[in-house]
């Protein structure tokens, strides 16, 4: 709902990585739609962050394992009563396509971006505050002043190096988020805690509260349990846990 703010917390490192990648892809795609220099800078920064996250040697195999695990898990539902077979087959086909797309990437994910000398020069200076200024990176300065069509062609080429990852991450998060039906819960004195079942791995906790409530949810936890604290934003520098009962929507996503 438009008047509800959703707070998410990953319960394992893989889901944490998918959420971070999704966040960066959203940034890249948003800034790429705009033509001015500052949006182009932000798009490149998001792209370099994506390449950095994907530099882990095991991330390609982890992504493939998760896609295959979800495919097997959903395949077992095919003969269950009440299952929408057409929709299930479409999801299974999407999972197979995503698997193939990731497998088709030669070597490590985003390696071509990390091997790009132009992008590498930006990475080297970006760790310095203000290091991407014109006198530090004259080639980048020149690129930012080239025609919009030229910049967009480069951005499209670089994005193509990670498009299979984007599709796979979006699909995994879509399946994770849709795996749970929200329930209405109450947090006495602004605090809620729940243990998680040991026989099924939970990936994600989602908490929803009205955007006008004047508070936010701080979630912590791991594979065994999680807790939620609701904090008042009346003092932005020193938020305090609310002292009244808070009703909220809760989704514990497991697949």
Q: Which CATH number fits domain 13-175: 3.40.720.10, 1.10.3900.10, 1.20.140.10, 1.10.20.10?
A: 1.10.3900.10
Q: What average pLDDT score do residues 209-220 get?
A: 94
How far apart CA 25 and CA 49 sit, in angstroms, is: 10
pLDDT, mean over the chain: 93
Give Cβ neighbours of residue 190 (< 8 Å, ≥ 6 apart).
215, 229, 230, 231, 241, 242, 243, 244, 245, 246
Other Cβ atoms closer than 10 A to 136? 16
- 228-247 pLDDT per residue, tens: 999 998 888 899 999 999 99
How far apart CA 113 and CA 208 sit, in angstroms, is: 37
The reported pLDDT for the residue numbered 128 is 85
Q: Given this structure, which CATH class describes domain 180-254?
A: mainly beta
In this structure, the strands spanning 183-187 and 246-254 are antiparallel
CA–CA distance from 125 to each of 31, 101, 135 (Å)? 21, 33, 11
Where do the structural domains in the chain lie, given as residue ranges? 13-175, 180-254
Q: What percent of the chain has pLDDT over 70?
A: 99
Q: What average pLDDT score do residues 218-225 get?
A: 92
Q: Which of 24-28, 34-38, 98-102, 118-122 has the lowest mean pLDDT?
A: 34-38
Q: What average pLDDT score do residues 93-105 get?
A: 95
Other Cβ atoms closer than 10 A to 38? 10
- With 0-12 / 13-18 / 19 or more C-beta atoms within 10 angstroms meaning exposed / middle / buried, residue 149 is exposed
- 53-76 pLDDT per residue, tens: 999 989 999 999 999 999 988 888
217 in Cβ contact with 207 (< 8 Å): yes
- 137-167 pLDDT per residue, tens: 999 999 999 999 999 999 999 999 999 999 9
The reported pLDDT for the residue numbered 1 is 47
**pLDDT band (50, 70, 90) for residue 2:** low
Tokens, residue 42: 């932000």
- For the ranges 84-93, 192-201, 240-249, the maximum mean pLDDT occurs at 240-249
Q: What average pLDDT score do residues 82-96 get?
A: 87
């Amino acid at each position: 709902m438009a008047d509800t703010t959703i707070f998410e917390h990953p319960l394992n490192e893989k889901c944490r990585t998918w959420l971070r990648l999704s966040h960066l892809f959203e940034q890249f795609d948003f800034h790429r739609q705009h033509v001015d220099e500052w949006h182009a800078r932000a798009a490149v920064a998001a792209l370099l962050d994506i390449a950095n996250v994907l530099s882990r040697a095991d991330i390609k195999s982890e992504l493939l394992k998760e896609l295959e695990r979800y495919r097997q898990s959903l395949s077992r539902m095919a003969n269950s009563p009440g299952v929408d077979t057409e929709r299930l087959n479409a999801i299974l086909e999407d999972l197979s396509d995503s698997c193939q797309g990731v497998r088709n990437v030669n070597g490590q994910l985003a390696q071509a971006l990390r091997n790009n000398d132009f992008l590498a020069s930006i990475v080297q200076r970006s760790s310095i505050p203000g290091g991407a200024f014109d006198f530090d990176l004259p080639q980048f300065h020149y690129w930012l002043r080239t025609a919009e069509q030229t910049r967009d062609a480069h951005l499209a080429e670089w994005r193509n190096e990670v498009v299979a990852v984007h599709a796979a991450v979006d699909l995994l998060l879509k399946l994770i988020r849709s795996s749970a039906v929200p329930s209405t819960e109450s947090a006495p004195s602004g605090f809620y805690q729940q243990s998680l079942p040991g026989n099924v791995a939970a990936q994600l906790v989602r908490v929803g509260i009205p955007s006008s409530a004047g508070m936010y949810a701080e979630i912590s936890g791991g594979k065994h349990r999680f807790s939620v604290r609701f904090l008042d934003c009346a003092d932005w520098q020193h938020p305090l846990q609310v002292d009244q009962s808070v009703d909220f929507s809760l989704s514990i996503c497991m697949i």
